[in-house]
Amino acid sequence: MGRSQKQKGNRIERKIVKKLQDSGFEAKRTWGSSGRSMGLDDEVDIVLGPAPGVQDLYLQVKGRRKLADYIKPKEGIIHAQVLVQDREEPLVVISFDKYVEYLKLKND
């Protein structure tokens, strides 16, 4: 990974941590974008928690110049996009703000 890509990744991770902290959550970025620095899997970029009654949530952040349009929920129409790969567990894509709203509801 080149230097500018690493800087971009760090910048995006810091932005996500700040948004979570501004929303009242305890969030921290793993050192060097490696969960190993906290005794976790290497893929962990951000640790969210602990929150009352909720164990830590581990997040990985991927920044891309452009995402395929079919992955993104249509703004103002669709609240969540469900993606299913053959023989795999379905995944849900929602906006980050909706995700934070969900976490707040879950913690209340």
In this prediction, residue 19 carries a pLDDT of 92
Model confidence at 83, in pLDDT bands (50, 70, 90)? very high
Could you tell me if 73 and 93 are in contact, meaning their C-beta atoms sit under 8 angstroms apart?
yes
- Which DSSP symbol is given to 76? T
What's the rounded Cα separation, in Å, for the pair 11 and 29? 11
What is the model's pTM? 0.79
% residues pLDDT > 70 (the chain): 93
Q: Which residue has the higher pLDDT, 2 or 108?
A: 2
Could you tell me if 81 and 68 are in contact, meaning their C-beta atoms sit under 8 angstroms apart?
no
44 burial type by CB count under 10 A (0-12 exposed, 13-18 middle, 19+ buried):
buried
- pLDDT, tens only, 27-72: 999 987 778 888 888 889 899 886 555 578 899 998 888 989 989 8
Dihedral sign, CA of 77, 80, 66, 23? positive
Identify the three-state secondary structure at position 57.
strand
In the chain, the largest separation of any two C-alpha atoms, in whole Å, equals: 42
